[in-house]
Every structure is written in C-alpha cells, then in structure tokens.
Amino acid sequence: MLASGSGTNLQALLEDPFVGPRVALVASDKPGAYALERAASRGVQTVVVEPKDFDSRPGHDAALLQALQAASTDHVLLAGYMRILTAGFVRHFEHRMLNIHPSLLPAFPGAHPVRDALAWGAKVTGVTVHLVDTNVDHGPIVVQEPVLILPDDDEESLHRRIQELEHRMYPRAARLLVEGRLKVEGRRVHVLDGGLEG
C-alpha cells in the first residue's frame, strides 16, 4: 500500500476484516506522513522511500518496487499517494494496482478534483476506484458512486462527504481485486460472481 498523507483511506482499508490482515507493507515517499503511524499502530511494516535520495524517478520507483517485492506484495493499493509512478512500475503490477479518486472520472482528474468540481459549477461529483495504468487518473474503472454538490458546499464540506463514501467503497473494491474477481476487457472491468456486496 502506498500513501503520502494522513491516510484516512488507509485506515478504512486497515480496519476492513478482509483487507486489513492482508496488508503486508505501507510505503510512503514522505517520512512524516501520518499514514505511517496508522500502519505501525496496527502492526503493519512500514518503509519510506524518499525521492530526494535518488537521481531519477526510475531510480526511486525501482527502490520502491524492491521494497514491495521484499514484502512479497501481490497487489498495490494507492491511498493518497501523490507521486506519478513510472510506466515500468505500473506495468509490473498491471491489473493488480488500484487507485481511488474523489471525482467521477474522467471528470476532474489531477490533484484538486474537489476544488475543481466546485469551481466548474458541477451539480454532481463522486468517487471513482480504478485500476492504475500508465496515464494519470485514467485506468479502467472498477466502481463509481455519485455525490450531490449542495448549494452551500465549500471544499471542506464536500470533501468530507466524499471521504465518507470513499471509506465504504475502497475496501469493497480492494477485496474484489484480491479475490481475483475483476476481469478486464479493454477499458471495461467486469465483476465476476456477483457485485460489490460483501
């Protein structure tokens, strides 16, 4: 699992009775990330791979990959990881890496989707869980759910409602991935043997 910040989605994953016990490693690019404390408090191994220690993005990502392989990582979940991963890293985990994004992709990709949705005057935004490919916020979509934007919403209030939805959706989608229940055909992801329940 990769995280850069406070790790609220990480916490939801760690608390899930199916996903939590299967988390082998939490890696971060920032030594002060609160996500590391959340992981350590659950007895999960942590590692920091700082970009400043490497001459290039491929060098950094190679070290990150080595750390994940040392922990026998089969799947990767991005939980607020704010670095763009190299194509080589992404291809290593093709169809085995998930990201969660606080908008209904392809609308409002990038680092500030909640702010962007409000600035655009959108009436609806939401949450997307998608498989990671070599483009940013672009991979095949596993699940999406909408969130209405209320007339008096500001960035904080809207983000809070989006996060509540994220914390329910991400563990369910992660379980489908780990159970091998996601079948990818081009840009379409089919859920095998039922839906997102459970």
Active site residues: 101
What are the tokens at 173? 């989608």
The DSSP output letter for 20 is G
Neighbours of 166 (CB within 10 A): 25
Centroid of chain to Cα 29: 15
Residue closest to 43 by CA, chosen among 66, 59, 20, 60: 20
139: helix, strand or coil: coil
**Residue 80 CB-half CA count within 13 A:** 21
Burial class (CB in 10 A: 0-12, 13-18, 19+), 52: exposed
For residue 106, say if its preceding peptide bond is cis, omega within 30 degrees of 0: yes
Rounded distance, CA 61 to CA 40, Å?
23
